[in-house]
Amino acid sequence: MTNWQEMESKYFMHTVNRVPVTLVKGEGARVWDDNGREYLDFVAGWAVNSLGHCHPVVAKALAEQAHTLIQVSNQFYTIPQLQLAEILVQHSCLDKVFISNSGAEANEGAVKLARRYGSHHRDGAYEIISAMGSFHGRTLGMVAASGQAKHQQPFLPLPAGFVNVDYNDIDVIKAATTDKTCAVILEPLQGEGGVNLPDDDYLAKVREWCNEKGLLLILDEIQTGFGRLGSLFAYEQHGVEPDVMTLAKGMGSGVPIGAIMVKDSANVLVPGEHGSTFGGNPLVCAAAYATVKYIIENNVVENVEKVSQYFVGRLEELKNKYNFVTEVRGRGLLLAIEFDREIADDALKACLKNGLLVNRVKPSALRFMPPLIIGSAEVDEAVNILDKVLAAV
């Protein structure tokens, strides 16, 4: 049998430390490796497989579209991207859509838009305030936006025009605002940075400040969007409306797709200023349209809320049982447990041996982001494995 992991080290750039499992098949919340072993998947492609693996509705949309029209240039009108744009606008507070291929690319476009806004409305202002501990993607621009030294340091010098300030502190945003500032970009909940929730009134205060100063508020909902936090978009839970919102991960239940959404008042890009060869092609848009439509029509968001409450309760039981579990945090189906010691790697490996896939978001924390369609039975299965694993570490 081919040793796929050996093949990887021979042929593939080693930019990620992989978990030693080769996955070949998925269905719902389960995946199988090349030895036929089954796993319960609480990583879901990093919060991507919102409807689980190979959901029939998504597979059907892909198959039909693959036999109809896969890709043409954006100089032509194509139908799936328009259907997708319509459903996104109808179910959000934003007015217009641009489709990209990934999250980082959506954020890059949002930054271009904000700079154009600055040149039209703020006398050439171009600086963007972002948060420490944030994650906005891996392009050079988004490395500058993401306030994490480990991602920035190896790639200096970074593009100019980004100011990183502490998360969850309105005063530092105020202090960093100058006449060069055009926008603030934030995650409603920092996912990659460790599942960090801001105070309930943080985004409202930032919104108020942006209004006062004429800055755009860009919400990066790439991880939090499409029901992940128990509402279709996270901004709904904060009583604020962004001027710009970026989306990706859960949008297509697995296909590579992202989006920039903008209010009419900030819709400043004109023909020639932004574009993409693949972005918005019929194939991925058909899958994303099927995904979003399914999420909306089948009360997936309500399921997230219900399962989340149950999951949090069961994780709290583990916290009460094991004194080294110090916190259960997160919202919806983006949850984490924190330990008072660095055991996340060992816990991840032990979970793997017991048939559960989880994410190590920090040396001392595990993150859970299962498909949004799971029920309490899958939660019980996962928590029972975690219980067994924590008893042994």
Ligand X SMILES: *Cc1c(COP(=O)(O)O)cnc(C)c1O
In the complex, minimum distance from the CB of residue 295 to ligand X, in angstroms, rounded to a whole number? 18
Give the tokens for residue 371. Answer: 């498909």
Which of 220, 232, 213 lies closest to 131, judged by CA?
A: 220
136 contacts ligand X (rule: CB under 6 A): yes
Which of 320, 336, 41 lies closest to 193, judged by CA?
A: 336
Q: Beta partners for 359?
A: 367
Q: Beta partners for 259?
A: 99, 247
187 contacts ligand X (rule: CB under 6 A): yes
Distance (Å, rounded) from C-alpha 156 to C-alpha 294? Answer: 43
162, 233, 243, 249: the catalytic one is 249
Q: Rule CB under 6 A: choose which of 41, 108, 127, 192 binds ligand X.
A: 192
Q: Rule CB under 6 A: choose which of 137, 250, 252, 282 binds ligand X.
A: 137
Which of 272, 259, 226 lies closest to 100, judged by CA?
A: 259
41, 42, 220, 339: the catalytic one is 220
Q: Which stretch binds ligand X (CB under 6 A): 26-34, 90-98, 129-137, 374-382?
A: 129-137
For ligand X, the closer of residues 136 and 314 by Cβ is 136
Q: Rule CB under 6 A: choose which of 98, 135, 235, 289 binds ligand X.
A: 135
The binding track of 225-264 with respect to ligand X, each residue x by CB under 6 A or -, is -----------------------xx---------------
Which of 295, 325, 296, 300 lies closest to 312, judged by CA?
A: 325
In the complex, minimum distance from the CB of residue 353 to ligand X, in angstroms, rounded to a whole number? 27
Parallel, antiparallel, or unpaired: how do β-strands 96-100 and 258-262 relate? Answer: antiparallel
* Residue keyed to tokens 């920090």: 362
Distance (Å, rounded) from C-alpha 284 to C-alpha 321? Answer: 45
Binding-site residue total for ligand X (CB under 6 A)?
Answer: 15
**Binding-site ranges for ligand X (CB under 6 A):** 102-104, 107, 135-137, 187, 191-192, 220, 222-223, 248-249
